[in-house]
Structure 1
């Protein structure tokens, strides 16, 4: 069954008693037992809640995994996965990833004895060289944030199997609608479901999907023990958003392609990052492995003064953090999403004082282009 159909029907079968086509919100902390030593399958909402379970089963189906897990945020999801590792373990990580993930790794989990090496995960040879005897996992972003480099998920998964390490893919930018890393050999996918999956900038959520049932049991033990689970209301909102994932992303990708093509010829844009453009170094690879190129566009302007102008003079675009919603957002990575990364590292990676990032929404594409055009001229 097509992913678009699966997404639209998440939770449809859940309430067999009433036939409700929308899964109910089970807004309860605890569940009554039918008898001594008996359970309905639900005891306490940290351990399991029907609304959350509908979401978890839904994302597992979309990603082709054994089991899904819903968390209070994308960072909570990544945190829970890090409990798979212990003191002395080493992870190889995408170098230009979301700044909050870097902060989690370097400022929090490093104090528990985990070590991290940051490499260009679009370079298979660099990843191979970075793997050590103590390496336990490779953590990659399928499309990096904000420079939109493309990882060869299939080749990296083969390398991970060869080396006996887990392959974890943050697939937030592409979602299972466009890319299914587990089909390409990855072990775990993780999402900030706040973004494209929920899709309306009205809830914060994180999801993870595990391919192997035994590994999934370990992840559930950590989810239940730590308790950073997604509440039933936010689970329902995420399900609601996922039902329209395909139509939203189709429109967003179409808009992104038009905007990227326009920016690519603009005299005040010196560089553009969008894998849908044929000249992008990852274009051919993503065309083979994915169903589309996503709706994120990053670009460098020719001078620093243009940054403030575009952030503050656009009227349809909103100057805001986050991404993936129906509204188009414009972000300044150096001062917002990646501010926690040391400046010398940002400069080396290309996250500089003239880089802007667009999360393209579902508005009329010409309206978005006109808005950017008037801001450039303001």
Structure 2
């Protein structure tokens, strides 16, 4: 099916699993335990053969969603988790150990940034770098470096990492290259094209799309040679070595740490994903129009959006991404109050979250980045008056009119 279009593959993914009664959607399996007429079947599942024994590790509904995300990401295997943060933390804690070193973009989602401090408390070294500059990434490498972690488009200032150059560097140095693809999603950007080892996505955002389900995923691209990685437990070094990393994440993460997704949430995400291409085309078109409007407005000091030619990584975004995404941020001119502006908006909802059908906005500094403090915000390029917007699927004219009247 690789020659088929993105949406064609997704909307037919479930029914091609030969579901009962000709169903086109995978059903919701709510059972926690799974019984076997022959106990050998239960033993086989515990020994790693396909099947279901306990819902913490898998259900048929979960398997169907994982199959769908694997197709989206062009990988060899996918695991889903209770949230995007569960997927990120599980990846770090199952593949890194005390004494290891992680190179990480300093332009990070607030909660991910917070995790770096937790990792350091566990004895894992972390170096934060300007990931738009490959020289900084290379200079941070140490003898104990095991992994490089970046986001495609940073939240909220929209910096774009040197994705291609980092991929070449990680391949040459045999480092695990982890890309958080949430803000682009697999529809806008194929992370395997820049040699990502693992692709992490918050499914709660553009994949689900409707603000009604939490979930996260980790996909192994099949491009990393896990035989060269020193942290794979001996018990997982069996069978196809391409599956060693994802097997360790599953056993140590889902089984031991329990960050499992419910079948109900998996079903909502799966159904939501069918319209991702349609939604994102509309959202990206709306975002570009709003960014261009705001950049010309006299009350706006600066707009941060990769689709603007003024953006420092505009050429990178144009080359790598199908469109420029649906997240934008802006600074008001001195003397204007961002909270007053937000309260004057009628269509736009004052809320945290990204990738929703509805346009959402919030003041960045006192909310999602309040905990990290002024100094860290300044290093990330976040002003104290910054507003972040997640652009929805509203009619473009209505959205522009709402900002026009609020700014007036």
Q: TM-score, normalised by structure 1?
A: 0.96
Shift of 1:304: 5.6
User: Using the alignment, how far apart are the partners of 2:145 and 2:371 within structure 1?
Assistant: 25
Residue 92 of structure 1 corresponds to: 103
Q: Which runs of 5+ in 1 are unaligned?
A: none
- Which residue of 20, 29, 33 maps to 1:30? 33
Residue 191 of structure 1 corresponds to: 201
User: Using the alignment, how far apart are the partners of 2:195 and 2:157 within structure 1?
Assistant: 24
Matches of residues 128-147 of structure 1 in structure 2 within 5 Å?
A: 128-147=138-157
Say whether the 8 Å CA contact 2:339–2:363 is kept in structure 1.
no
Residue 166 of structure 1 corresponds to: 176
Moved over 3 A (4+): none
- Which residue of 343, 360, 365 maps to 1:334? 365
Q: Does 1:291 align with 2:331?
A: no
Residue 14 of structure 2 corresponds to: 11
User: Using the alignment, how far apart are the partners of 2:157 and 2:89 within structure 1?
Assistant: 24
Change (3 A) 1:304 1:191: farther
Instruction: After superposing the two structures, state which structure 1 stretch, 300-309 or 270-279, moved more.
Output: 300-309
Say whether the 8 Å CA contact 1:97–1:141 is kept in structure 2.
yes
Q: Specify the SS of the correspondent of 1:308.
A: helix
Q: Which runs of 5+ in 2 are unaligned?
A: 43-49, 223-242
Shift of 1:303: 3.0
Q: Does 1:258 align with 2:289?
A: yes
Residue 366 of structure 1 corresponds to: 397
Shift of 1:119: 1.0
Say whether the 8 Å CA contact 1:10–1:55 is kept in structure 2.
no
Change (3 A) 1:97 1:35: same
- Which residue of 323, 327, 331 maps to 1:300? 331
Q: TM-score, normalised by structure 2?
A: 0.89
User: Using the alignment, how far apart are the partners of 1:160 and 1:304 within structure 2?
Assistant: 46
Residue 89 of structure 2 corresponds to: 79
- Which residue of 60, 71, 77 maps to 1:61? 71
Deviation readout 1:188-207 (Å, 9 max, x if unpaired) = 01011111111011111111
Matches of residues 234-273 of structure 1 in structure 2 within 5 Å?
A: 234-273=265-304
Shift of 1:15: 4.8
Say whether the 8 Å CA contact 1:100–1:340 is kept in structure 2.
no
Q: Does 1:217 align with 2:247?
A: yes
Shift of 1:7: 2.2
Say whether the 8 Å CA contact 1:148–1:273 is kept in structure 2.
yes
Shift of 1:258: 0.6
Structural RMSD (CA): 1.4
Change (3 A) 1:355 1:304: farther
Shift of 1:56: 0.8
Say whether the 8 Å CA contact 2:129–2:136 is kept in structure 1.
yes
Instruction: After superposing the two structures, state which structure 1 stretch, 316-325 or 215-224, moved more.
Output: 215-224
User: Using the alignment, how far apart are the partners of 1:161 and 1:219 within structure 2?
Assistant: 21
User: Using the alignment, how far apart are the partners of 2:385 and 2:352 within structure 1?
Assistant: 17
User: Using the alignment, how far apart are the partners of 1:316 and 1:359 within structure 2?
Assistant: 13
Deviation readout 1:228-263 (Å, 9 max, x if unpaired) = 110000000110111110000000011011101100
User: Using the alignment, how far apart are the partners of 2:156 and 2:100 within structure 1?
Assistant: 27
Instruction: After superposing the two structures, state which structure 1 stretch, 310-319 or 334-343, moved more.
Output: 334-343
User: Using the alignment, how far apart are the partners of 1:187 and 1:126 within structure 2?
Assistant: 20
Say whether the 8 Å CA contact 1:139–1:169 is kept in structure 2.
yes
User: Using the alignment, how far apart are the partners of 1:371 and 1:225 within structure 2?
Assistant: 48
Q: Does 1:352 align with 2:390?
A: no
Deviation readout 1:46-87 (Å, 9 max, x if unpaired) = 121010111111111111111111111111001110120000
Shift of 1:221: 1.8
Aligned length: 376
Shift of 1:308: 0.8
